Amino acid sequence: MKEKNKVSIFNKMNDTSLLLTITIVIFFLMYIGAVLFQGGGFSKPQMFFNILNANAALIITACGMSIVMISGGIDISVGGVVALVSMCCAVYLDKTDSPSLLVSVLIAIGIGVAYGLVQGFLVAVLDIQPFIVSLAGMFFARGMTTIVNTAPFNVENQAFIALKDTRVNVPFLGSYNKKGIYVPAYIEIGVIVALVLVILLFVVLRWTKLGRSFYAVGGNKQSALMMGINVRRTKFLSHLICSTLAGIGGYVYFLHVGSGSASHAMGMEMNAIASSIIGGTLLTGGVGNIIGTFFGVLSLSTIQNIVASAGLDEAWWTGITIAAMLCIFLLIQSVVMAQKKKAIKA
């Protein structure tokens, strides 16, 4: 009897929602574990919001990455784009006369869109492997960042600093510090941008023709073509969206760190890929979910925080734990998928 129930559940769920459920469950188990065993910082809500504040940019770029991966592609240039955006905006705000914040935002988005147009064209129209295209894109972005300005520096523009330090208080979730003064919980502007984008992209992927085309193309390119989907256009748009999000993510990153540097966002593309995978996006395409990616980023950064607060602050510890966690996630995913296959066969 119990067996039969299991079969029907597996049948009801498609691959996407099954993987999403796994991700969310694991994240909550992990976070609750951290609260129970680590205590300290984790028991305060602000810890969670700090994770959001520090990773808003990653959430945005990972969403773009997920869309490209769902369509069956990959984009490893996003980290480079983030660094280039930070540096360009920093130089504009600090080294020109009477800069405006609006223009700096437009610069960020413009860089992203330009990247998307070029990479999308190379991938979709000229049919070049997305890995190669974005590898070249990554080197180009890193190189350009150094050309724009070699030395890292902090932005001192007053309007920008005011925006950077804007805190949005979260009601009810504050805490009392040692002196008994109430400190409200807060998030930064970037988190709001990230959350709006997550919801927007979720809607796009779930309900729009374009969103569903991403899944169809990633699931089976040939079939998608036969069913009358414009495969080139879909691939092109996936890269355009991803790079544009990298541009926006770049600005949010810039807003969080407030500086320009050629070494900003090193390896961010890999974190974005890792988050997508943890969030249930398959590298083979066709399966994935933006909400999953959101939780993927949270899981990844929670692990980093657990490692840090356990006093194992060296970089290699973080690396090893993330590697281990990726393995565990992938293992659980493949076991569950295999179970599902078995259940269907029987």
Nearest Cα residue to 111 out of 252, 259, 258, 244:
244
Give the other-Cβ count within 10 Å of 196's Cβ: 11
Least distance between another protein and beta carbon 68 (Å): 16
Binding segment for another protein (CB under 8 A), chosen from 78-86, 89-97, 111-119, 205-213, is: 205-213
* Residue 63, burial from CB neighbour count under 10 angstroms (0-12, 13-18, 19+): buried
Binding segment for another protein (CB under 8 A), chosen from 8-16, 60-68, 244-252, 273-281, is: 8-16
Q: CB-wise, 191 or 216, nearer to another protein?
A: 216
Q: CB-wise, 263 or 284, nearer to another protein?
A: 284
DSSP state of 286: S
Task: Kindly identify the residues of this chain, within the stretch 213-252, that bind another protein according to CB under 8 A.
Answer: 213, 215-216, 218-220, 222-230
Instruction: Give CA–CA dist 230/220, Å, rounded.
Output: 13
Round to the nearest angstrom and report the end-to-end CA distance of the chain. Answer: 14
Tell me, by CB under 8 A, how many residues bind another protein: 32
What is the Cα 335 distance to its own chain's centre?
Answer: 25
Least distance between another protein and beta carbon 23 (Å): 17
* Residue 135, burial from CB neighbour count under 10 angstroms (0-12, 13-18, 19+): middle
Asked if residue 344 binds another protein (CB under 8 A), the reply is yes
Least distance between another protein and beta carbon 276 (Å): 16
Residue of the chain from 8, 208, 263, 339 that contacts another protein (CB under 8 A): 208
Cα torsion 123, 290, 25, 171: sign: positive
Q: CB-wise, 211 or 247, nearer to another protein?
A: 211
Instruction: Give CA–CA dist 100/250, Å, rounded.
Output: 17
Task: Kindly identify the residues of this chain, within the stretch 123-152, that bind another protein according to CB under 8 A.
Answer: none
Task: Kindly identify the residues of this chain, within the stretch 251-310, that bind another protein according to CB under 8 A.
Answer: 286-287
Asked if residue 209 binds another protein (CB under 8 A), the reply is yes
Contact present, 85 and 247 (Cβ < 8 Å): yes
Instruction: Give CA–CA dist 271/253, Å, rounded.
Output: 14
Q: CB-wise, 31 or 215, nearer to another protein?
A: 215
Binding site for another protein (CB under 8 A): 11-12, 14-16, 206-213, 215-216, 218-220, 222-230, 286-287, 344-346
